[in-house]
Every structure is written in structure tokens, then in C-alpha cells.
Structure 1
């Protein structure tokens, strides 16, 4: 709605041009020969005619000569007359150069020409201001950047050379151009024509000052509307994290929009309007954009300088967001602010990158220290995931999403010190000929620090089998997160494979310590030995007791959160235990006696073992406090199955 309203103001229907001269008749300013002077030469006659023609048109549009000229825009009233006006100024300028080189007899005509030129420049100043101010909607950076590009603008031929096409054809670039783009193109063409005319006539400063004031206000307003405000370091330090976090998110979007639209569009417009002078182009754009750009790109330094006492983990990722948006738009920033006079902007953006890089390094070091200094000694129930594991791995997984920018940041960081830590944990599959990238080394190091801390926490378990299950659970979680995130590309398949082997080793150690005595209860007798009925009964009872004790303990005190690992451990235990029990069951059950005795000593079929094991390691089992079924219940259920 505002744009439509602006268009109706800027592009009102044309009215018929005035055919008569304003009240200040130009005939009063014309030079006529007295009856006593010799007849002028042809050249002098043409010169007088040119001055008279210029005087007629210039004085018609003298804003101090008539109300019509004061309230009406020449360029909106008649494009054809505007072109004639510019030609008159150009012709008048040529005559002034010619007259200034002649003798003093021509001074009257030179004075008249200078007077007309001053009137014409005031008119063009007024037109320049009106076009800029009334076309803010059509000359906004977004419209300009959409319509054109700086590359094409630099090669555009001067719009100062007009043809005699009808007014309604001026500025048309084809049916495909939008209405806004058409008006933007027409306004830009008019501005460039006026600028070239005024610069050529020696009135560059008057033109430039108008342009700078109006366009700088647009840039400053645009920066403000994007949510970027001038802040002091003390103001930033006093902000709570929620407020600062919101400002950072707003700033990131502001950089994207300002580089793609705001500054780009302004640079394009400046190049187009002042295409005839590189010096003026540079001066205008630098003065218009410098303050807003410096305000924009100085924000990361303020944030990086905020008190680093216990920064929230999210600050790392906001710092990475800020670094990313500057680095991704760096080529555009360099291109937009390529002038020597805008070096301060490029320097500020680069300084922010350096400051952010330093801040990220400090926060990553703080993250490492947080892992190393974790002093919790209470064992995690069931040998499950330690809170430090979930926190650290989630943190690293999110960092992995910034692998591209972290690769750039970490390239200059010193490598971590690997002393006093097992080298096998640190191996990421690199060779001497092809050293691993710094980011890969850093991620491997951080995981190593975490694993060493988990090793120390496993020692707090009184039950060694539970300690191994704890290590298996936590390492499995780490490996699983690595495999399903960007970290897998940093550490490589070899790293994952080696740590999966370690998970299996921890699991096997758990199985041996937690279930080994159950298996051994059936293996005390040599395979070739012949045992008595009483011995068989005793071994069945021993197995029942060992199995029930192990099952009760493991089902109420052990969990395996990872589905894959849980199934693998259960299948491994079932496979080993069921195989041994089935052999013993098939070989010695006949020694137990009849059906009644069998129910007393043989509580489980081989298939029952797998059924019971399927309920192991579930969090719900531990939370509900479920235990092994009673002997009577299990025996009766066994008999029902066999009956």
C-alpha cells in the first residue's frame, strides 16, 4: 500500500506543457544589436540565438519566476522538455567556454550566460532532490539490486545522450520488466542525466551533497529497521543471555539482507547515477554507507568481549553463526566495499572474524576443561549413560554441523598436547604422509578427553561387571552419534571401527563377569565323565540358583539404552548360555527321575532361558523393580508347559 501511494505521487498523469513563457520573460534577457553596431557575423548570430533559446526554456522553469515552475517538476511534467532543458544547458556551457576565450566585448553575453547557468543549476538541484525524495520506494536498495547489477552498471552508456523518442517510451525496457523496476530505471536515468549535466557544468558539490544526505538516511534507516542499534560494551555486558541471544539472531539475518540487498543496491545505484566519475562514485558510496556498515560489522566484537565467566553453551554456536555469516558473505563484502575509502569497513569485518575465532577457541578450551573438571562420583544407576556423556556428545554433534567453518577457524590453532594419554584412543587413521586436518585432530582429542574421564568414573562402581557395562553403554552412545552426524566425515571409518571393537570388548568383559559363573556351573564336570543321578540333580539345582541369582541382579540393576547394543548383548549371552544348558539338559535330565522329580530339579527348558533373557536391560524393568519369578511360580509354569 505505501508503494502504491508513493507511485501515485511520483508518477502522476502528465499535464500539458505550458506553451507560453513565465512572467519573467526571457526576451528581457536576450541580447539585441543597437542600430549603431555593425551587423553580427553568422557565428555571433548563432551564439545569440542559442543564448535566447536557452534563456526562454531556463527562465520558464526558474522556480523563483513563477508559481508553476515552483510547484511543478520538469522531469515529471515533460520528458521531452527535460531533454531539451539539458541540451540547452550543454549548449550554454559550450558558449561560455567560447566567450571566455574572446575579448572583453563579449563580456555582456558571458555574464548573461553565467546568470542563466546559475538559474538552470538551481532548477536541476530542485529536480535532483525531488526525484530522490519522491522515489524512495522505487529507488530502495531491493528494487535497485533486483533490477540491475554493478557489473552491468559500470558498462552502461551514459544516459545523458537522449534521443527524441516520445515521453511514454522513455525508460521502457520491455514487457517483462515490472512496474517498480520500470519506474526505478526511469528515475535512475533521470538522476544520472542531471548529475552528469551538473558535474560537467562545475556544480558537482551541489549535486553530491543532496545525494549523500538523502541516500545516507535510507541506509541508516535500513540498518535500524534490520534491528541493528548502536550499543556500548557496557550495555552488552549487562544483557542477560536471552536478550543477547535474540540480538545475535537478528544481527545474523541483518548481515544476510544488508549484503545481498541494502549495501549492494546502494552501491549499484551510486555506480549508475555517478557512472561518469569514479572519484565521485567512491566518495558518495563511502560517505553514505560507512557509518551503517561499521555499526553492523562491529557488533561481533562487542559480543566476543562480553564477560566470559561461565558463558552458556549456546554462546559457542551463536559465535559460530556470526562467524559463518561473515565468512559466507566475505566475497560480497569485499566487492561492495572495494574502494580504498571503504577499507575501514573491510577491516572491521575482518577484525570481527578474528575476534570471533579467538572467542570460539577460548570457549572450546573451556568446554574441554568442563569435561576434565567434572567431579561427580556417584555411579550412574544401571551402568547407563552418564550426563557428562550426553552433554558432551550433543555439544560435539552440534559442533560437527559447523565443520566447514571450524576447518577454517582451526587451521591456525596449535595442536592439542597428547602427553599422558593413551595413544590408541587418539588414532584417527591418519598417516605420516597425509596428516589429519586440524579439525579432525581436535574432535578426536575432545572425545579422548571424554573417554578418559569416563574411565575414571567407571572405577566408582563396586561391581566390576557393571563398570564394564557402563563403559560399553557410554562408548556405544558416542560411536552411534559419531556415525550419524557430520563427525563421521572428520574422524573417518577407521576411527569408528576401532571404537566399535572397544565396545565389543567392554560387552564381553561384562558378560564374563556377570554370567560366567552361570555357565561354569554346568562346566565343572568334565565332558567325558559319567555322573550319578544325585550329581545331576545337584548340578541342575546349582544352575537354577546361579541363573536366578544372575537374572535377578542383572534385570534389576543393569540397563542398555541403545537398542542395537542391547540386542547384541542379550543374543550373545543367550547363545552361550543356552548352548551349554541345552547340552547338559539333553544329556542328564533322564537321571533326575520321573515327572514329579523332574519338576523339582529342572525348572527351565532350554527355550525358557532365551525367553527370560529377552527381558534384560530394559529401563522399565528397573523402574518397576521387577524381579525374578518365584521358584514355585516358575516350577508350576514349567510343568504346565511340559504337561
Structure 2
């Protein structure tokens, strides 16, 4: 508001605040203590009124051009203290005159006129200090030096200008210039507020304070990007736009809670320390609208019908932001008149928690309803596995928040999960955290879905490799994320055993006929014809197995090495003994070249090339180029 408009609003001589009956005739509005009245002599009353008149009239903007363009508190702190002291003495004198003399007495009328002039001056000073120190009274500066301000703002003894200057110089050694100016402005505002409240002009003081400070809070909220928005507007937004607004809100709520509203609450408490009701009224009117707007946004997001995967984590971020600052919110908005702010923040938490539960059910439903029928080449990782485990890994990072949210949510049927998921290993009486049970259940739902997809492979060995690969991926992500703390080592150990079982089944079905082509005792005596037939069977079965399995993939390096080592131990070792024993049995060198197509080293080298392929977009495919090792053996007897 322009200064001229503010002055006309606050300083009109026709305002009903300037009446004796309003401020001095009602005993309930007096600030006199209950100590026995002291009867002033006529000369003492006159002396008090004359002393007050001297300094009050000097600063009467209606009669003095100097007073119109000069600030009392900026011009001379000593004189400002004298002005405040004179007004307080005048106030006491007026109460005595009202209680002991006719209300129409000449001295009382003179004192009343002086008080009206003094209050106009203090209103002007109050307005000027608030207006000219907007930068120094910003919430960040106030909250940064509130503890210092509280110790420096006690000026009820009205120390002289010299002692205040000494205090400023001493404090200046430890605080910044901005904090120093802020602290001094708060001190001056408190002096004026105390004086006006004691003189019965609290309403005028509050009016100026609310107008200026509310504009600062509203401007701060606006600059933080918080705007009034309806539920229908949120529903119409594209997710990218809404996501940007959520990110902005997360930053805004942090600044608002820890700086904007904290600083304003501190300033209100400091300036109006003499009246609990006034500080509550001012802070409520200044902050309630902006704070309700701020804490109402998460509720709108929680209610929106859009449910992309990212929504879960944005909702959890907002829940974390409010719950993490809940103690501060309760402290800042502790007044009864600001209960609506606390209620709005609480409502947002409830709506956000409901949204989390709904999104978890949607996630489970997404797994169960996945209808993709395409077989993953080479038995690699299914996109559903990658998506689901990524989702669960991120969820695990919010385990503390999720524990609070789903603590009362009914767990899955116990028949669906082993007892170990419902009770901790240490005690059968101690239930496992609800989040652990829920995560275990979701992984079980995923594994059941993958089991159904594995059955679509015509090659049964490939179905087992598919299960081994996907379960191994789940375990690997569990081990390298917070999921390991939720599921525990027992869960990991049990599922690692399942991976080994799947791998063994793959090995038996894919390579069993190669193992069977060699004699149980590789060193048993054979005729040349038997040896040739045995080599022929091995050549054929190995070439066939290699051709089929060369398109397989095992993305996990450890699982890949484990499978190859297991196959190599059973195949290469036996074949080497057979090769060394019977190579010469088949006949001369020409016959050996004809029937003995693989050396043990060849077999080992070909096995080492298995299970490599590129992984793209969650599926597996063979690389268009062979490995460098294969290029080194491009003259292999396997014509592939």
C-alpha cells in the first residue's frame, strides 16, 4: 500500500481511538498496578504534563516541518527513549486525573490532546520502521538472530543512548550488520508496541503490523511458487507439469517451515511480548491463509486420479516433508486460532497415506495383470522383473515412512508366505515389521508371475535358465539396497538356494545328453571302433548343445561363472581323461583328425564363450558380433 494511503488510514484525527472515554474511563483498560495510589501535587502533575508537551509537540507532524520529514527513532535514540518515557508518565498521570478529578478538567483535556498527538507520532514511527526494514526484518534474518534479539530487546529500563550504542558496538563483533539492524528494529518496534498497548491503542498498532507483515508473508509464498489451485485444475494437469509443481512444493515447504513462518512467529512473539492475545491475533491473520494454502497442496495431489509409477515416490516425498517437520509445524502454529493450519497439514498426511496404500495395491495389480506374451530371447531378464525390482528398491529407501503408513494395513494371508516372513528370527512372539511382510509378499507375487511366463518356453531348459536369471537379479538388487535389511539374510539364503536349483535343472536338461555321450569311466578299455563311436557321439551332442545354448544369456557375472564352472567341471574334466586315454586308440593321425574334433582346451574355450549377449530395454538379445575369444577360434570345427 502507498505510504500516503497508509497514513490516511492510520492517522485520521477523526478515528474513534482518540477518545478519553475509550482509553481512560474504563478500569479494565488501565495498566496501573494494584499498588496504593500516590497523590501527585498540583505542581508535579503540571510538571509531568509540561515535560511531555515539550517533547511531544516537538515531534508533532501537524505543526513542525522538521517532524514531518524526520524519523524520531532514526534521528536520536536518546530522544526516542525520552519520548516513550514521557508518554508512559503522561499515561499514568491521566489515569490519576480520571480517578481523582472531573473528567472535564482542563489538565485532563490537555493531557488527552497530547496523548493523541503522541499516538499519531508512534503510529507513524511504527509504520516507518516496519516499512523501511522490510529487508532487515525478513524471516530469515529474524530467525537467524532471534536468540540474540531476545536478550537485547529488553529495554523496559529505557537505558540512555550511550549504553545502547555500547551494546551495539559489543554485539557488532559477533553478528553481521544485517542481523544488528534487524535486532535494533525489533527492539524499537517492541518499545512502540508496548507503549501503544499500555496507552490503549493496541488496535491501531495491530492494524499497521498486520497489513505490512501479511504482505511480506504473501509475497514470500508467491515467490516460492505456491498458488491457489483447485482439485479440478490438478486433475487436468499433465503429469510432467504436476511433477514439477510437486518438486517446487518440496523446496517451498522446507523454506516456509524453517524460515518464513518461523521468522514471522519469532517477530510476532518479540514485538508483542507484552500480550499473548495480540501476538496470537497478529500471527494468525498474517500466516493462516498462506500456511493453509501451502499445506493444502499435498491433499490435492493425493486425490488426483493420475497414477504413473513416479507418483508413489512424490507422494512419499511429500509425506516425509510434512511428517519430518511436524514438530516444527505444531510449535509454529501452536495457537488455538491456527488449529486450522495444523488440521490441514494432518489432513494432507492422511490423504497421502491413503494414496500410498492405493498405489501399493495398484503396483501389485500391475504385476498380476501383466499380459505380455513375448518370450525373452535367451532366457534373459524380463522387463517386469527389472521394473518391479527397481520400484521395490526405491520403496525400501522409504522404509521408515512406509512402516508408519502401513502399520495398520492387514497383512497378506499367512498361508501365502512362510512363517519366517511374519515373525522375526529372534523371537516367535515378535512380528516382523509390516513393511517387510508387504515387500516379501510383492516379490512372491512377482516370482509367481514369472513362473507362469517361464512355462511358455518350449525348451524346458530355457525356462529354468529364465527363472534362474530373473530370481538372481532380484537377489542381487536385494543385496545392494535397503531391501536386504527388510527381508533379512534368511530370505536371501533361501532364494539363493532356489537359483542354484534352477541352474542345476537347466544344466541337466541342456547338457545332460552331452554328459551321457561319455562313458561313466572315461579310462575304461575300448576297441578302436568303440572309441570312434564315442568320439562321434560326443562331437554331435556337444555341437548340438553348443549351437542351442550359444543364444542363451546369463546377465549376472557370478551366476554365469557358476554355471560355466559347474558344466566345465563335469564335462571338461571327464572329456580330458577320455581324450588322453583314447585319442591314440582311434588310429593314426589322419583318423584322429577325422574323429577327434575337439581337444579339451577347445571344449573349455567354447564353454567360456557361452551366455554373453547384450541387454537392451530389459530384454536379452545376442550381440551381432562374436566375442574376441571366438574370433581367435574362427576356424573351429563347429561351423556356426
Output the CA distance in 2 between the equivalents of 1:188 and 1:160.
14
Deviation of 1:158 after TM superposition, in Å, equals 3.2
Output the CA distance in 2 between the equivalents of 1:527 and 1:207.
105
Indicate yes or no: 2:378 matched with 1:376. Answer: no
Output the CA distance in 1 between the equivalents of 2:261 and 2:444.
46
Output the CA distance in 1 between the equivalents of 2:448 and 2:110.
93
Aligned match of 1:531: 526
Task: Indicate the SS of the match to 1:269.
Answer: helix
Shift in alpha-carbon separation, 1:224–1:112, aligned structure 2, 3 A: same
Deviation of 1:100 after TM superposition, in Å, equals 1.4
Shift in alpha-carbon separation, 1:632–1:198, aligned structure 2, 3 A: closer
Indicate yes or no: 2:541 matched with 1:543. Answer: no
Alignment counterpart, residue 571 of structure 2, candidates 566, 577, 598: 577
Alignment counterpart, residue 232 of structure 2, candidates 231, 234, 237: 234
Deviations 1:129-181 (A, max 9, x none): 000011000000000011114xx777876323211132644645241111000
Aligned match of 1:566: 560
Deviation of 1:566 after TM superposition, in Å, equals 0.9
Output the CA distance in 1 between the equivalents of 2:40 and 2:515.
127
Contact 2:423–2:429 (CA under 8 A) maintained in structure 1: no
Task: Indicate the SS of the match to 2:100.
Answer: coil
Deviation of 1:101 after TM superposition, in Å, equals 1.9
Contact 1:429–1:494 (CA under 8 A) maintained in structure 2: no
Contact 1:479–1:499 (CA under 8 A) maintained in structure 2: yes
Deviation of 1:279 after TM superposition, in Å, equals 1.4
Shift in alpha-carbon separation, 1:555–1:153, aligned structure 2, 3 A: same
Alignment counterpart, residue 519 of structure 1, candidates 515, 522, 531: 515
Deviations 1:523-562 (A, max 9, x none): 3x66785321100110011101111110111012x11111
Aligned match of 2:344: 348
Deviations 1:455-476 (A, max 9, x none): 0000000000000000000000
Task: Indicate the SS of the match to 2:550.
Answer: helix
Output the CA distance in 2 between the equivalents of 1:128 and 1:626.
83
- Give TM-score, length-normalised by structure 2: 0.88
Deviation of 1:121 after TM superposition, in Å, equals 0.6
Output the CA distance in 1 between the equivalents of 2:131 and 2:309.
47
Indicate yes or no: 2:56 matched with 1:61. Answer: no
Alignment counterpart, residue 405 of structure 1, candidates 395, 401, 404: 401
Deviations 1:610-630 (A, max 9, x none): 11101001115823276999x
Output the CA distance in 1 between the equivalents of 2:600 and 2:257.
72
Aligned match of 2:48: 50
Shift in alpha-carbon separation, 1:428–1:369, aligned structure 2, 3 A: farther
Output the CA distance in 2 between the equivalents of 1:486 and 1:42.
79
Task: Indicate the SS of the match to 1:435.
Answer: coil
- Aligned ranges 1:191-590 → 2 under 5 Å: 191-308=189-306, 311-419=307-415, 421=416, 423=418, 430=425, 431-523=427-519, 530-556=525-551, 558-590=552-584
Aligned match of 2:31: none
Deviation of 1:590 after TM superposition, in Å, equals 2.6
Task: Indicate the SS of the match to 1:624.
Answer: coil
Deviation of 1:260 after TM superposition, in Å, equals 0.8
Deviations 1:558-611 (A, max 9, x none): 111111111111111111111211222222223112222111111222222111
Contact 2:353–2:405 (CA under 8 A) maintained in structure 1: yes
Indicate yes or no: 2:632 matched with 1:634. Answer: no
Output the CA distance in 1 between the equivalents of 2:554 and 2:194.
79
Contact 1:92–1:117 (CA under 8 A) maintained in structure 2: yes
Deviations 1:350-387 (A, max 9, x none): 11000000001101100000000011122111000001
Contact 1:236–1:303 (CA under 8 A) maintained in structure 2: yes
Shift in alpha-carbon separation, 1:434–1:427, aligned structure 2, 3 A: closer
Deviations 1:99-118 (A, max 9, x none): 11223398111111111111
Aligned match of 2:16: none
- Give TM-score, length-normalised by structure 1: 0.88
Output the CA distance in 2 between the equivalents of 1:129 and 1:531.
113
Shift in alpha-carbon separation, 1:139–1:283, aligned structure 2, 3 A: same
Indicate yes or no: 2:84 matched with 1:86. Answer: yes
Contact 1:428–1:492 (CA under 8 A) maintained in structure 2: no
Alignment counterpart, residue 163 of structure 1, candidates 159, 163, 173: 159
Deviations 1:183-235 (A, max 9, x none): 00110000000000000111111101111111111111100000000001111
Aligned match of 1:138: 136
Output the CA distance in 1 between the equivalents of 2:106 and 2:54.
18
Output the CA distance in 1 between the equivalents of 2:193 and 2:78.
18
Contact 1:294–1:348 (CA under 8 A) maintained in structure 2: yes
Task: Indicate the SS of the match to 1:338.
Answer: coil
Contact 1:428–1:441 (CA under 8 A) maintained in structure 2: no
Output the CA distance in 2 between the equivalents of 1:91 and 1:527.
118
